[in-house]
Amino acid sequence: MSITRWSDLRRFTEARVGLGRAGNAVPTAAHLDFQEAHAAARDAVWSALDVEALRAELGPVPVLHSEAEDRRTYLLRPDLGRRMRAADRESLPRTGSTVIVVADGLCASGVQRQAAAMVRALEAEWPVVIVQQARVAIGDDIGEAMGAEAVVVLIGERPGLSAQDSMGIYLTWQPRRGRTDAERNCISNIRPGGISLRDAAAKVHWLLRGARALGATGVALKDDMTAAPLLE
Amino acid sequence: MPFRHAIGGTTHVFDDLRTLLARATPFRSGDALAGVAATSAAERVAAQRALADLPLRHFLNEAVIPYEKDDVTRLIQDSHDAAAFAPIAHLTVGGFRDWLLAAEPEVLAPLRRGLTPEMVAAVSKIMRISDLIAVAQKCRVVTRFRNTIGLAGTLSIRLQPNHPTDDLRGVAASTLDGLLMGAGDAVIGVNPATDNIEQVLGLLTMLDEVRTRFDIPTQSCVLCHVTTALLAMERGAPVDLVFQSIGGTQGVNESFGVTLALLREAEDAALSLKRGTLGQDVMYFETGQGSALSAEAHHGVDQQTIEARAYGVARAHAPLLVNSVVGFIGPEYLFDGKQIIRAGLEDHFCGKLLGLPMGVDICYTNHAEADQDDMDTLLTSLGVAGVTYIMGVPGADDVMLAYQSTSFHDGLYARAALGKTPAPEFAAWLERMGIGPGEAIPASLSPALIGLS
């Protein structure tokens, strides 16, 4: 089929191409499509984790909170989102194993929809905790308190206009406060249309085996897992 | 040396120059996060008054980050031109503001090498938005590679055809969409989804093919790390411009994996390819307030002063383009539309006064308190201020980086509303190709020519 009109270009990309023009602006329908997508992304940022719904799926796991009191504080003070409340620290059991941390991050809806299924896909007997108003590095705090061998943080990713349901996974070997981002491995864009739960779970196990052999995660642990198709 | 100023019976004391600069800055979340912001409006204005009284000469004697500890400080101090500074050597910061507002445009360019980034940051802190616009509008910075960027009455656009998986046909489709809307004279520049060398080579080759197939008087760039670009050049890839994110301290540059020597090496490598036709300005730098704090390399200096120091790094080269990605880094640095708008205009003012071809990625993420109305306000203000170039992203929505910027439509709006044209060589090309409004794609730009069918 020949491509003769701008709108034909939409076949090749999800980007907003071929929108047409009203003068120099986008036509009304495209303008309102954008506004609707922005509203959804904004609401996703401010959405709260439904903790009880998650526990209904995950079981009676501990529920923790960062030092960021509310969403506004969370956005302005990333340092507070990286630390858990002192009282929570004392409530946690010690475990030598890997720990799974389910964190709301910048978009609760991604983990709300996918975290429980992800935990099941991992097929591991690791303890799970839920934490609210949390940044990635709170996994270091929690892992240290629990004496964890490694921490697997499932966290809501920054929403875009075309995706408000994306989850990221961060792995840190021997987590403790003060670890840097260069000491983690990340699997991002886990969502319908992105990386599948099954592929993400396989990668978590692959990386953890590598971490155990190397004694570290991060830049030293290169993800050269034989590429299975990432998109389904 | 401490600085003092009394307001309403309270004497405010500022221990050193970096503290004075930080307390004098209009409020923004990143300075509060770093713990360097003024704690009250009164303290802020006391700092602004004390800063206004400070002789410009003082900046040559007190560094905000010690000379011994930081290569950016050394670069700034060692390259200061005393002769260029002479016409304003007698002024205070406040006197400098008045002088700039009254100055004829032709006196500003000879001043550039006599200014330090900290002097420029300081004067911007006691300026209103209209001051930042009025003075920047008088600064003219012209650069050349395959076209001429920055001429009076022009507004250029970077065509940013990103794709979440770097799919070549997807990138090509967005590129064509932008060209049909008059975008791409600053550069056709893709942010690759990964820094994988094979992927970068594929994108470089495809963009070069599109450019040569349509005979477009512009340049392309794949915004990979400078070390990846060096590798691509070794492999004979068609690299027009070398891109790198930079910052205003040695520490933040290290966090980006670069040194001043590495930037020099990359510029030399790109120059040796001699790919420019009208000029050989081969570097493309991106900056943004907050990166130093994010890298914990800010030394207690406010984020805007550090941003100006990044321009000190940029001007040691001959960049074709310098871009402040103003709203990208997040609300912990610039919380809302008000902070983003002010920061964008400060960055443009500081860069232009220091002699750089400043563009601004007028943008925000979804966790910031901002929307397209804020972008329209900043775009219009920057257009009046004479911004060199802006971004063109399909529908203002970047599907790879998950943030909102300015669209191809926004570029058309700004040019029409402000009476601006694209770079002259590119404007002539648009006319030659028969590009204008309408739903049909001109035969001269047939998608089949670049493999889209």
pLDDT tens-digit map of A74-83: 999 999 999 9
Which residues make beta-bridge pairs with B358?
Answer: B322
Q: Which residues of B touch A44 (CB under 8 A)?
A: 366
Listed in order, the ranges of chain B carrying CATH 3.20.20.70 are 143-442
Can you say whether the dihedral through the CA atoms of B378, B383, B385, B389 is positive or negative? Answer: positive
CA of A224, closest CA in chain B: separation in Å? Answer: 12
pTM tops 0.90, yes or no: yes
The pLDDT-based confidence of A163 (bands split at 50, 70, 90) is confident
A45-74: average pLDDT: 96
Q: Is the pLDDT of residue A231 over 70?
A: no
Reply yes or no on whether the pLDDT at B425 is more than 50.
yes
Torsion, CA B89, CA B92, CA B95, CA B101, rounded to 10: 70
> CA B411 to CA A158: how far, in whole Å?
27
Tell me the chain B residues in contact with residue A162 when contact means C-beta distances shorter than 8 Å: 397, 399
Q: Which residues contact B121 (CB under 8 A, 6 or more apart)?
A: B21, B304, B305, B307, B308, B309, B346, B350
For CA atoms B73, B79, B82, B86, the dihedral sign is: negative
> Mean of the pLDDT values across residues B126-130?
98
Distance from CA of B157 to the nearest CA of A (A): 15
Q: Which of B32, B163, B416 sits opposite A15 (nearest CB)?
A: B163
Nearest 5°: CA angle at B243, between B240 and B249? 150
Mean pLDDT of the residues in chain A: 92
Q: What is the token pair recorded at B40?
A: 């009250």
Measured between beta carbons, the chain B residues lying within 8 angstroms of A19 are: 394-395, 409
CA distance, residue A96 to nearest chain B CA (Å): 32
Q: Nearest CA to A45 among A189, A203, A180, A156?
A: A156
Question: With contacts defined as CB-CB under 8 Å, which chain B residues touch A37?
Answer: 397
A9 with B447: Cβ contact below 8 A: yes
Instruction: Please give, rounded to a whole number of angstroms, the shortest distance from the CA of A94 to a CA of chain B.
Output: 32
- Among candidates A34, A42, A77 on the partner chain, residue whose Cβ is nearest the Cβ of B397: A34
Q: How far is CA A123 from CA A148, A166, A205, B99, B244, in A?
A: 18, 21, 10, 70, 42
For residue B259, what are its two tokens? Answer: 């040194």
Minimal-distance CA residue of chain B relative to A10: B173
Please name the member of B335, B399, B440 whose beta carbon is closest to the beta carbon of A76: B335
Cβ–Cβ gap A76/B164 under 8 Å: no
- Output the six-digit token pair for B347: 């960055």
Closest by CA to B28, choosing from B20, B37, B19, B41, is B37
Q: Which residue type does B261 have?
A: A
B95-133 in b/e burial notation, b at 16+ Cβ within 10 A? Answer: bbbebbeebeeeebeebbbbbbbbbbbbbbbbbeeebbb
Q: CATH 1.10.220.70 occupies which residues in chain B?
A: 3-136
Whether B117 shows a pLDDT value over 80: the answer reads: yes
Angle at which helices B41-52 and B117-125 cross, to 10°: 130
Q: CA-to-CA distance for B445 and B453, rounded, in angstroms?
A: 13
Quote the ipTM score.
0.94
Residue with tokens 């794709």: B163
Chain CA centroid to CA B138, Å? 18
Task: Reply yes or no on whether the pLDDT at A230 is more than 50.
Answer: no
**Confidence label for A223 from pLDDT (cuts 50, 70 and 90):** low
**Tokens representing residue A32 in the block:** 């309102």
Q: Are the beta carbons of A133 and A68 closer than 8 angstroms?
A: yes
User: Domain B3-136 class?
Assistant: mainly alpha
Query: How far is it, in rounded angstroms, from Cα B296 to Cα B438?
Result: 50
Q: Please report which helix (H) or strand (E) contains residue B5, including its range.
A: strand B3-7
> Choosing among A161, A162, A191, A223, which should be mutated to test the B contact, i.e. which has the most B CBs within 10 A?
A161
Burial group, residue B194, by CB count within 10 angstroms (0-12, 13-18, 19+) = exposed
Contact B366, A42 (CB under 8 A): yes
Three-class secondary structure of residue B26 per DSSP: coil
Q: Could A12 and B167 be called an inter-chain contact, meaning their C-beta atoms sit closer than 8 Å?
A: yes
A72 part of contact set with chain B, CB < 8 Å: no
Tokens of B385: 């201020």
CA B421 to chain CA centroid, Å, is: 20
Q: Note the pLDDT of residue A225.
A: 63
| Contact (CB<8Å) A77/B402 | no
Cα separation values, B295 from A201, B291, B340, B390, B425, Å:
31, 6, 20, 26, 41
* Residues of chain B with C-beta less than 8 angstroms from the C-beta of A15: 161-163, 170, 173-174, 177, 393-395, 397, 399
Contact A77 B452 (CB under 8 A): no
pLDDT score recorded for residue A199? 93
Distance CA A7, CA B157 (A): 22
Lowest mean pLDDT among A182-196, B34-48, B119-133, B161-175: A182-196
CATH topology of domain B143-442: TIM Barrel (3.20.20)
Amino acid letter, B363? C
Q: Is the pLDDT of residue A192 over 90?
A: no
Q: How far is B301 from chain A (nearest CA, A)?
A: 18
Cβ atoms within 10 Å, residue A207: 22
Burial of A202 (0-12, 13-18, 19+ CB in 10 A): middle
For chain A, which domains are there? 51-220 (3.40.50.11240)
- How many other CB atoms sit within 10 Å of the CB of residue B173? 28
Q: Which of residues 108-147 of A touch B (CB under 8 A)?
A: none
- Sign of CA pseudo-dihedral B62, B63, B68, B74: negative
The mean pLDDT value for A53-73 works out to 96
**Chain A residues touching B416 at Cβ < 8 A:** 24
Decide: B214 and B449 in contact? Cβ < 8 Å: yes
pLDDT tier for residue A228 given thresholds of 50, 70 and 90: very low
Mean pLDDT of chain B: 96
Write out the DSSP string of B279-335: ----EEEEE-TTHHHHTT--TT--HHHHHHHHHHHHTTS-EEEEEE-TTTS-TTTS-
Nearest CA in chain B to A157: B402
